[in-house]
Amino acid sequence: MPSSPERSAPRRLGPDQRRAQLLRVGLQLVTSEPLESVTAPAVAEAAGVSKGLVFHYFPTQRELQAAIARAAADQLIGLFARADPDLSQPERFASALDAFIDFVEQQPASYLAIARVSGADELLNAVFEDFRDAVVDLIALGFGRAAPTPRERLLLRGWVAMVEELILQWVATRAISRRELTEYLQASASELLSSAFGQEPPALRGG
Amino acid sequence: MPSSPERSAPRRLGPDQRRAQLLRVGLQLVTSEPLESVTAPAVAEAAGVSKGLVFHYFPTQRELQAAIARAAADQLIGLFARADPDLSQPERFASALDAFIDFVEQQPASYLAIARVSGADELLNAVFEDFRDAVVDLIALGFGRAAPTPRERLLLRGWVAMVEELILQWVATRAISRRELTEYLQASASELLSSAFGQEPPALRGG
C-alpha cells in the first residue's frame, strides 16, 4: 500500500478535522477513479482508518459519495471565483474558462462525479443542481446581475451544459486544438449570453 | 393493483416476445418513475410475471435498467427520424425539435433515464453516449454530412447538450414561453451549427 501524507497524519483529530481529512482522501481518490468506486472501505483504506470510522462520519455510502462530489464541486467553483480582481471582466471570464478546461483535463473523473451521476440519487442530484446554479450565479454576477431572472438562469444553464459537454468531449477526442476550443466557447458566450441578457454582445475576448 | 393490457396478455410468449413485453412494461414505468425505482421486482409485478422470469431475460438489475433506458432512447431517436420526408430541411429540423420538447415535457423521467444516470454505470453510460452520437448523426445527415468529421461531431455534441439542458430546465421552471424556447434553440442552431459546418447560417426557421 503506498504511503501518503494523509496516512502519516496524527490519529487524534477533532471531528471536523477528521471529516475534512476523509473528504480530502476521497477527493484524491476521485481524481482518478469513478465515484462509484470510491466506497467507504476504499476511503478507509486510503486514510488508514477503520471502515466504522468512515461510517461514523458518513452513515451511508451515498452520503459519503455525495459529500465527495460536493467537495469537488466546491473546489471547481473556488477556481472559477478566484480570478484576480484587478483583471477586466473579459479577462476574468477567460481565466475561469481556462480553469474549467484545466480541471476537466487534469481530473476528468472528478468532474464526472459532479456532472454524470446525478439522476441516480437525490443527494447527488442536489450536488449537480447546486453546482450548475452556482456557476450561473457567478457568470451572472460577472455581467453585473446579482439576481438573474428565471429567463436568464435558464439560458445560462443551457450555455453551461454546452461548455461542460464540449470540454468533456474535447478531453476524450482532442478533435480540435485547445485554442480553437477556447475561442469557440468565448464566441458562443458572446452570442448566447448577450441573447440571455438582452444586450449587445459583450467583448469577451479581452480588452 | 391496477390492471393493464400487459397483464391480460396471454402467458405463452416466445422469448423475443416476452423480452419485448418486459421492456414495454419497463418503458411504461419509466415514464413516471426514476430509473432507479424501476427494479426487477417492480417490472415483474407490473407485468404479472415472476421475478425469476425477469432475471432470466435480464440477469442483473443494471442490465434491465440499461435495456429500458436504451428502449427509451430508441423511441426518442425514432421520433426525431420520423419527420415527413416531403418536408424541407428546416421544417424537418423544427419538427424534430418539437418532438424532443414534447417527449421531455410529457415524460421527463424517461429522458432523465437516458441523460442523467450515465456516469454511474458502464452500461448506462453506453446508452447515453450512443444516444448523443445518434442525435449528432441525424443532425449531420440533415445537413448533408453522412460522415461528420471529429470536429463537427464535437461541436454538435455541445449543441445537443445545451438543447437537452434547456428543455429539462424549461420543463422544470417554465421560465419562458414554449415559443421563445423554440426560437432560441433554432437561433442557436443557426449560429452554432453553421460554425460547426463552416458555412453560412442555414435558414432553420423555414421558408
CA–CA distance, B123 with A50 (Å, rounded to integer): 32
Structure confidence by residue, pLDDT tens digits, B147-187: 899 999 999 999 999 999 999 999 999 999 999 999 999 88
Q: How far is A74 from chain B (nearest CA, A)?
A: 19
Residue B39 is classified by DSSP as -
Structure confidence by residue, pLDDT tens digits, A8-57: 455 678 889 999 999 999 999 999 898 989 999 999 999 999 999 999 99
pLDDT value at residue A124:
85
Residues of A with Cβ-Cβ distance to B125 under 8 angstroms: 116
| pLDDT surpasses 60 at B110 | yes
pLDDT value at residue B52:
96
Interface of A with B (CB under 8 A): 34-36, 112-113, 115-121, 125, 149-151, 153-155, 157-166, 169-170, 173, 175-176, 184, 187-188, 191-192, 195
pLDDT value at residue B154:
94
Higher-confidence residue: B59 or B123? B59
Q: What is the amino acid identity at position A170?
A: W
Q: How far is B150 from chain A (nearest CA, A)?
A: 5
Please answer yes or no on whether A159 and B162 come within 8 Å at the CB atom.
Answer: yes
Using CA atoms of A159, A160, A164, A169 in order, give the dihedral in degrees to the nearest 10: 0
Interface of B with A (CB under 8 A): 34-36, 112-113, 115-121, 125, 149-151, 153-155, 157-166, 169-170, 173, 175-176, 184, 187-188, 191-192, 195
pLDDT value at residue B205:
45
CA–CA distance, B97 with B92 (Å, rounded to integer): 9
pLDDT value at residue A143:
79
State the average pLDDT for chain A.
86
Structure confidence by residue, pLDDT tens digits, B13-44: 888 999 999 999 999 999 989 888 999 999 99
B83: Cβ contacts below 8 Å, ≥ 6 apart: B91, B92, B95, B96
Q: Which of these, B131, B101, B103, lies nearest to B115 by C-alpha position? A: B131
| pLDDT surpasses 80 at A201 | no
CA–CA distance, A41 with A30 (Å, rounded to integer): 14
CA–CA distance, B203 with A109 (Å, rounded to integer): 39
Higher-confidence residue: A195 or B102? B102
| pLDDT surpasses 50 at A1 | no
Structure confidence by residue, pLDDT tens digits, A105-144: 999 889 988 887 766 678 888 888 899 999 999 888 887 8
Which pTM value belongs to this model? 0.84
| pLDDT surpasses 50 at A3 | no
Residues of B with Cβ-Cβ distance to A151 under 8 angstroms: 175-176
Cell numbers describing residue B46: 407490473
Structure confidence by residue, pLDDT tens digits, B58-106: 999 989 999 999 999 999 999 988 877 788 888 888 899 999 999 999 9
Cell numbers describing residue A68: 465527495
Phi, psi of A27 (to 5 degrees): -60, -40
Please answer yes or no on whether B175 and A154 come within 8 Å at the CB atom.
Answer: yes
- A46-50, A69-73, B6-10, range with the lowest pLDDT: B6-10
Confidence of residue B192 (pLDDT cuts 50, 70, 90): confident
ipTM score for this prediction: 0.83
Q: How far is B121 from chain A (nearest CA, A)?
A: 8
CA–CA distance, A136 with A115 (Å, rounded to integer): 15
Please answer yes or no on whether B165 and A161 come within 8 Å at the CB atom.
Answer: yes
Residue A129 near residue A153 (C-beta atoms within 8 A): no
pLDDT value at residue A139:
87
Residue of A188, A191, A193 to mutate when probing chain B, most B C-beta within 10 A: A188
